[in-house]
Amino acid sequence: MRKIIFVFITILINLPLNAQDFIFFSNSPRITYYDYSWSFVNAPSVLERIGEKFPVDTIHFYSPANSLRLKWTSKPGGDWGFAVAEIGTPWPVHNITTKDSLAFWAYSDEFIDSLNLPLIYLEDNTNKKTPKVSMSVYAPDIQPNTWTKIQVPVNVFVPGPDGANLQIIKTIFYGQDLADDVQHALYLDEIRMITSGSSSDTIPPAVPQSLTAYSYERHIDLKWIFNSETDLAGYNIYRLNETNYSLIGTASKDDIWFTDFLGGVGMSGTYKITAYDFAQNESPLSDEVTSSTRSLTDDEMLTMVQEASFRYFWDYAHPISGLIRERSASGNTVTIGGSGFGVMAILVGIQRGFITRIEGIERMLKILNFLTTHAVKFHGAFPHWMDGETGEVKPFSQYDDGGDLVETAFLIQGLLAAREFFNENNTDEFIIRTLITQIWEEVEWDWYRKEPNSNFLYWHWSPNYLWQINFRLIGWNETMITYLLGIASPTHKIPASMYHNGWASSPNYLNGRTF
């Protein structure tokens, strides 16, 4: 019994999730501004912004390929603040009581006295904020041209009078402190909530395998196969620079592609990659690959664009459900309408030879099994957003937490196309056709009339808010397919007259002109 308890405790101590940092910023998908940020500024203080977003800098960075540029002038009587969140849609929340420090790296081209650094505070998912903490208490003076690590204890961010909940922290704010009336520029990178020195993990990940290079006119694509470590954090990409390999970028743990833009024809690159984990252990370098950019025919150029588009739907699909993420960094948030386009992309990928039919079948079975056994439905309709791991609703807006008929129609379009495509006489393709028929026949198009004699279909229904959004589907817009599918439904049919009396009933439906 004692041995069992010891083993159990050992497993708990070494659980990878406990060692994983909460990453509020590592790299920005955009090279101009960071989507997952928000700011305000009150005159006479000055703050550099792009809209309300954090500017991104691609020249200064601690880890490739960019950092956040914080440029401000704090003046008496003014105020400013810049919030940064983890990549995700909606912005993820974290229980920071499981961590002990906020850590990030800072850089400046000029000396900055620590007293003139910004202050820091946190905001929870209900927009309540912690007390403001002066960075100067925990940071040294910033020396020019040197990256400095700054670490702030989590326990200084007590809930405070505003009642911020430290278990649902959404953003980290940098804000005005001492009003010295001087412009400063500070570059911020690798903003994380961490557990300092708690990890005894010294075992690096395995070397990434099957590194392959694909050459195009102005860039080279690198591809490898996924590492299997549960504590994998990402991959480092190295390019040979004369005699040494230099780090040129990073890829997330969910990526198996990296694009190196060289800028012209006939340019060569030699590459190796490594994998690294949340304890910052790095694998040895992979095998080397070399490639050179080359001129492409028109057909090759079109194939390049088409295959790159296909890769989004294939490589960035959710690993558990196979459904399509809202965007490339939206974590568990998958979109039902986008998944309809993703199913269509699978069919095109098979036809174009980007994947095999067997690979397409395996992905379709993953998607269909998830939709029929895990995904929540509302009178046969799926929600706009869903958790790709659990199948539960992720509300698209306050009242949009139920069935979304339009997104469901986009999904059904893709599924019905797949039902026709997978037409071979074998067990897997028979199951695909059967499950698609089940999903298609369970959609209650007639329910979404709201009233039995209504001429209109309605976009949303919520178990909590019923028909609160009250959005009738009237053309011309992208929602015509709902009427066509409803009219064609073998189980929950709507009258064909609704096409004319509902969808096409707007006085602006016809433009009255000829061409």
Instruction: Quick: pLDDT tens for 347-367.
Output: 999 999 999 999 999 999 999
Both 279 and 310 in a single domain? no
Q: What is the rounded distance in angstroms from the CA atom of residue 85 to the CA atom of residue 105?
A: 16
**Segment 367-407, tens digit of pLDDT:** 999 999 999 999 999 999 999 999 999 999 889 999 999 99
Are 347 and 456 part of one and the same domain?
A: yes
Q: Is residue 261 situated within a structural domain?
A: yes
Note whether residue 7 is domain-resident: no
Q: How far apart are alpha carbons 275 and 268 in whole angstroms?
A: 23
Residues 182, 257, single domain; the answer is: no
Which of 270, 295, 320 corresponds to the end of one domain? 295
Residues 74 and 21 in one domain: yes
| Distances in whole angstroms, Cα of residue 444 to Cα of each of 103, 468, 482 | 51, 19, 11
- By C-alpha distance, which of 415, 471, 481, 418 is closest to 445? 481
Q: Are 245 and 285 in contact (CB under 8 A)?
A: yes
pLDDT tens digits, 332-344: 899 999 999 999 9
Residues 323, 278: contact at Cβ < 8 Å?
no
Q: Which domain range does residue 291 map to? A: 212-295
pLDDT band with cut points at 50, 70 and 90 for residue 158: confident
Check whether residue 149 and residue 217 sit in a common domain.
Answer: no
Q: Same structural domain for residues 23 and 162?
A: yes
Average pLDDT along the chain: 91
In a domain, residue 226? The reply is: yes
- Summarised one tens digit per residue, pLDDT across range 181-215 is 999 999 999 999 988 754 456 789 999 999 999 99
One domain, residues 320 and 390: yes
pLDDT, residue 231, reads: 83
Backbone angles phi, psi at 164, to 5 degrees: -60, 140
Burial 439-460 (b: 16+ CB within 10 A, else e): bbeebbbbbbbeeeebbbbbbb
Q: Are residue 117 and residue 239 in the same domain, yes or no?
A: no
Beta-ladder partners of 37: 84
475 in Cβ contact with 504 (< 8 Å): yes
Q: Which residues does 349 contact at the CB level (< 8 Å), separation at least 6?
A: 310, 313, 314, 355, 360
> What is the secondary structure of 212-275 as a DSSP string?
EEEE-SSEEEEE------TTEEEEEEEEEETTEEEEEEEEETT--EEEEE--STT-EEEEEEEE
Residue 203 inside a domain? The answer is no
Domain for residue 10, yes or no? no
Q: Is 383 exposed, middle or buried (0-12, 13-18, 19+ CB in 10 A)?
A: buried
Q: For position 263, which CATH number holds?
A: 2.60.40.10
Residue that terminates a domain, selected from 231, 266, 295: 295
**Count of domains observed in the chain:** 3
Residue 44 is assigned to a structural domain of this protein? yes
Residues 127, 76 contacting (CB under 8 angstroms): no
Q: What is the CATH number of the domain that holds 174?
A: 2.60.120.430
State whether 495 and 443 are in the same domain. yes
Are 510 and 500 spatial neighbours (Cβ–Cβ below 8 Å)?
no
Between strands 101-107 and 148-153, the pairing is antiparallel
Given a contact cutoff of 8 angstroms between Cβ atoms, the answer to whether 126 and 90 are in contact is no
Instruction: Please tell me whether residues 334 and 448 are part of one structural domain.
Output: yes
- Residue 470 identity (one-letter amino acid): N
C-alpha distances out from residue 272 to 37, 204, 283, 334, 495, Å: 33, 17, 11, 32, 61
Pairwise CA distance, residues 152 & 381, whole Å: 47
The tens digit of pLDDT for each residue in 210-262 reads 999 999 999 999 999 999 998 888 899 999 998 899 888 888 887 899 999 99
Q: Nearest 5°: CA angle at 38, between 34 and 42?
A: 130
Residue 435: inside a domain: yes
Final residue in a domain of this structure, among 243, 276, 295: 295
**Proportion of the chain above pLDDT 90, given as a percent:** 77
Looking at the fold, whether 370 and 428 belong to one and the same domain comes out as: yes
Provide the β-strand partners of residue 94.
169
Could you tell me if residue 321 is inside a domain?
Answer: yes
| CB-based contact 412:439 (threshold 8 Å) | yes
Q: Residue 74: is its pLDDT beyond 60?
A: yes
Report field, pTM of the whole predicted structure over 0.75: no
Which distant-in-sequence residues (6+ apart) come within 8 Å of 48 by Cβ?
55, 69, 70, 71, 72
- Distance in angstroms (rounded) separating the CA atoms of residues 156 and 133: 8
Rg (CA), the chain: 26
Give the CATH number for residue 388.
1.50.10.140
3-class SS at 401? coil
Residues 326 and 343 grouped into a single domain: yes
pLDDT exceeds cutoff 60 at 150: yes
